[in-house]
């Protein structure tokens, strides 16, 4: 029974901590998500360009 009490206490404490969190607004979440998406697109283009040129260089050398 002690384990059940500890689990119950843990869940109560976890819920209390979740109540204290200051959540971001929907518009801020969308803005941050768009920044991350833009960064992912830019980095994927950059990595693909590096890969393309390295393949060209290696094919010239070999």
Residue 11 lies in a domain: no
Is residue 47 scored above 90 in pLDDT? yes
Residue 62 has a pLDDT of 84
Residue 37 has a pLDDT of 98
Two structure tokens written together for 36: 């991350």
Domains held by the chain: number:
1
DSSP state of 25: P
Q: Which domain covers residue 43, as residue numbers? A: 23-62
Q: Is 23 left (phi over 0), alpha (psi -120 to 50) or beta?
A: beta
Question: For 17-39, b where at least 16 C-beta lie within 10 A, e where not — what string?
Answer: eeeeeeeeeeeeeeeeeeeeeee
Residue 1 has a pLDDT of 67
Residue 62 lies in a domain: yes
Q: Cα(62)–Cα(60) distance, rounded to whole angstroms? A: 6
Percent of the chain with pLDDT over 70: 98
Residues 4-20 have pLDDT tens digits of 999 999 999 999 999 99
């Amino acid at each position: 029974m002690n384990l059940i009490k500890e689990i119950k206490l843990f869940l109560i404490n976890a819920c209390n901590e979740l109540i204290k969190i200051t959540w971001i607004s929907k518009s801020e979440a969308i803005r941050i998500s768009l920044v991350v998406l833009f960064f992912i697109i830019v980095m994927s283009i950059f990595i693909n360009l590096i890969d393309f040129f390295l393949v060209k260089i290696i094919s010239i050398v070999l």
